[in-house]
Chains A and B, each alone.
Chain A
Amino acid sequence: MDTKEMLKTLCVVDGNSGYEKAAAELSKEILSAYGKTYIDNLGNVICEVAPKKNGRHVMLDAHLDQIALIVINIEENGFLRTYPCGGIDRRGIFGTKVRVLGKGGEYIGIVCSVPPHIKDSNDKNPERDEIFIDIGFNKEEAEKKVRLGDRVMLCGKYSEIGNGYVTGPALDDRAGCVTILEALEILKDKELPCGLSAVFSTREETGGQGAAVAAFSVAPTEAIEIDVSFGKTPDTANVHSEMKKGPMIGFSPILDNDLCRKLIELAQKNDIPYQVEAMGGTSTGTNADEISVAGAGVKTGLVSIPQQYMHSIIEKVSVDDVKNVGRLLAAFVMEGGKE
């Protein structure tokens, strides 16, 4: 599998929280190569790679959904009033090109911005319900083309940048999905010592409802959540993880400490670079929070890909980091059950 190609394949398909259909159908097709794959009632794509064995069943989960906007009203003159569906960054949303997934097709538009010539000196960033889209149609035409609830995808360009990086929208968390595919590729001809399910889950950006129900259905003994986390930039004094330094192994009260230690041990043993991400508080802000308390409880670990500019159209990850997370996941499946 060409990692860059797979990243691009998964990143350019639409899948906003609660409306992941296009991304889910493509994922189902891809995951079917590794086991029986189905889409459940909340849209999760679940691949049963191997049934439970030796009392152990591992679930690997990454979320399929990406942030976008949702149309909440069609205003005078055909402008669309939208609301974030996931954590839209209001600091830079102005002037973003968008695609409205409307009735009978897509319509391109622009997020309205206020030019310096007429702004007030005390202007703020737009409120969540004050993000307007111009699709160039009057109200009558707009009402024929756009329905309330339609999703508005932020347009970005997927490309390589610098030496070994890729950038574009939706890398949070399609890059996580690709790490699972990397692991499945490594494991495909091996006899697994345990059961294994791969899940591309829905609605993470709006609360993790997808992963919660997927974990109930799969009922694993252990789970690894794969998400993106913060890579250092010049304006992040308290971020210690760096790009290209390998998987970030999470430690948090919600995570299983022994499992996390095991991940470090396996990284060391297999010569996989890694870094530790320690989090206080009551949650990790990822699907790990939902999975760990699903059913009768799941021993859960969290492995993150360092990412810069999360929740923007210029999200950036290192291809090597993606590959190394895949290697760590494969090692965990094969050796994680050993003392």
Chain B
Amino acid sequence: MMKTFLENLEILSMARGTSGDESAVRKLIYDEVLAYPDCIAKTDNAGNLIVSKKGKTQPKNKLMFSAHMDEIGFIITHIEESGFLRFSCIGSVDSRVIVGKRLLVGRNAIPGLLGSKAIHLVKKEEFDNPTKTSDLYIDIGAENREEAEKLVSIGDRAVFDSDFEKFGDGCVMGRALDDRAGCAMLMELLKEDAEYDFTVCFTTREEIGGNGAPAAAFGVDPDIAVVVEATTAGDYPCVPGDKFICKQGLGPVVSFRDNGTLYDMEIYQYIMELCGKENIPVQTKHGICGGNDAEAIHKARGGIRPVAVSLPARYIHSPYATLKISDMENTLALIKILSKNLCEL
């Protein structure tokens, strides 16, 4: 029995897989897509899961979709004599979302407390300015180093201890929705019979600069690559009005440019018009911000035409990102059409 989209999304959101340690996520996707029709899956040496989908016909343009499996988090760098753990962040993490949060630490997912001294002991300037990550530590309740070493090792990873939940008017919250939501949507794409052959890559190490995607793109050697991502929706009060980038509820975000990539203008304009014809709400990024696997992919081999289709996600790189289910439905509808139309373009 195939799992539904929301079931896959929840399972993937609860899975733990920081950059370079994506194997648990990869196994979940692999085991699920094995049951999908006409799919052949393999893992490359960079840890990417490459799924070839056999369609009815050979496409004119070889098409690749990608979404990254990895998430931001923490790596244990030192165990103090007192039993407290020191750590370094994996990916870009603002200290304001980590102080005082509960974590899952190490291979056995033991509870960890991302501690800091009590507010009563904090000086005025420390209160106003974000805490330095290097001043923070993780408490696993160990009394000393010896006890801590029985529970964790240096190099072990930690992630936020967050639940996946539906809330509000058709919204979900959860950890790592950037970019497990992209993964879940591409799994959905693989469920259906395809018109043309295409390839889906579930990539590694995006959060540390897109170090998995180049290998995937080199191996697949496509003409066009569609990166399916979760991008920053800044449509809420603590973001200055001109920095909203994109808004939740307005459908997929198709990029013309971000900090890493100038996207293929012809395809960008084609998709914007296509959405009008197909009655799919669509928006673009208002402002140049962020980057994704397209940066590495479009420079692979002799060059690959880059496309990015993203979900408007609030609060990414924190314990909980949020998404609207209607945005996911509309994005999925667009991706399904692209899997056919871009092959013929």
Contacts and interface: CB of A to CB of B under 8 A. Distances in A.
A313 B171 CA distance: 24
Given A113-B96, A125-B96, A314 B101 contact: yes
Given A113-B94, A118-B232, A92 B99 contact: yes
A136 interface: yes
Nearest to A131: B238
A285 B322 CA distance: 39
A240 to B, nearest CB: 12
A302 to B, nearest CB: 15
A165 B141 contact: yes
B102 interface: yes
Contacts of B118: 230, 307-312
Interface in A159-204: 159, 161-163, 165, 167
A103 to B, nearest CB: 15
B77 interface: no
Q: When A and B form their complex, which 3 residue pairs have the shortest distance between CB atoms, in order from nearest?
A: A136-B168, A162-B141, A92-B99
B111 A167 contact: yes
Given A90-B127, A95-B319, A138-B169, A230 B102 contact: no
Contacts of B165: 108
Interface stretch (B34-42, B132-140, B197-205): B132-140
Interface of A: 75-77, 79, 81, 87, 89-97, 107-110, 112-119, 123-126, 130, 132, 134-138, 141, 156-157, 159, 161-163, 165, 167, 230, 233-236, 238-239, 244, 285, 307-314, 316
B111 A95 contact: no
Given A94-B96, A125-B130, 18 more contacts: A89-B119, A91-B130, A95-B319, A97-B320, A124-B130, A130-B237, A134-B236, A134-B315, A135-B167, A136-B170, A161-B139, A163-B141, A167-B102, A230-B117, A235-B135, A239-B117, A311-B119, A314-B102
A116 B99 contact: no
A299 to B, nearest CB: 26
Interface residues of B, number: 68
Contacts of A81: 237
A115 B140 CA distance: 27
A81, A114, A165, A309: most-surrounded residue (chain B CB, <10 A): A114
B167 A136 contact: yes
B84 interface: yes
B337 interface: no
Interface string B91-108: 011111111111000000
Interface string B38-78: 00000000000000000000000000000000000000000
A308 B314 CA distance: 31
A162 B315 contact: no
B113 A314 contact: yes
A234 B80 contact: yes
Contacts of B237: 75-76, 79, 81, 112, 130, 132
A67 to B, nearest CB: 10
Contacts of B119: 87, 89, 91, 310-311
The prevalent SS among residues of A at the interface is loop
A97 B319 contact: yes
Nearest to A230: B118
A79 B236 contact: yes
Contacts of A136: 167-171, 322
Interface in B108-160: 111, 113-122, 126-131, 135, 137, 139-143, 147
B178 to A, nearest CB: 9
A92 B98 contact: yes
Given A75-B237, A94-B94, A310-B120, A134 B80 contact: no
B235 interface: yes
A91 B99 contact: yes
A325 to B, nearest CB: 19
B243 interface: yes
Contact of A89 (B92, B93, B99, B129): B99
A118 B315 CA distance: 11
Nearest to A309: B115
B161 interface: yes
B176 interface: no
A308 to B, nearest CB: 6
B289 A117 contact: yes
Contacts of B182: none
B96 A91 contact: yes
A87 B120 CA distance: 9
Interface centre among A81, A92, A126, A312 (most CB of B within 10 A): A92
B92 to A, nearest CB: 4
Contacts of B97: 92, 94-95, 113
Contacts of B100: 89, 91-92, 309, 312-314
B318 A118 contact: no
A137 B169 CA distance: 5
Nearest to B141: A162
B116 A115 contact: no
A162 B119 CA distance: 24
A310 B163 CA distance: 23
Contacts of A307: 118
Contacts of A108: 165, 167, 173
A93 B135 CA distance: 17
Given A91-B96, A117-B232, A161-B140, A97 B239 contact: no
Contacts of A132: 236-238
A69 to B, nearest CB: 14
16 contacts: A77-B235, A87-B119, A89-B99, A91-B95, A93-B96, A97-B173, A110-B322, A135-B168, A136-B167, A162-B141, A162-B143, A167-B102, A235-B135, A309-B118, A310-B119, A312-B99
B303 interface: no
Nearest to A141: B169
Contacts of A230: 117-118, 120-121
A112 B98 contact: no
A130 to B, nearest CB: 6
Contact of B82 (A137, A234, A285): A234
A226 to B, nearest CB: 17
B47 to A, nearest CB: 24
Contacts of A112: 236-238, 314-315
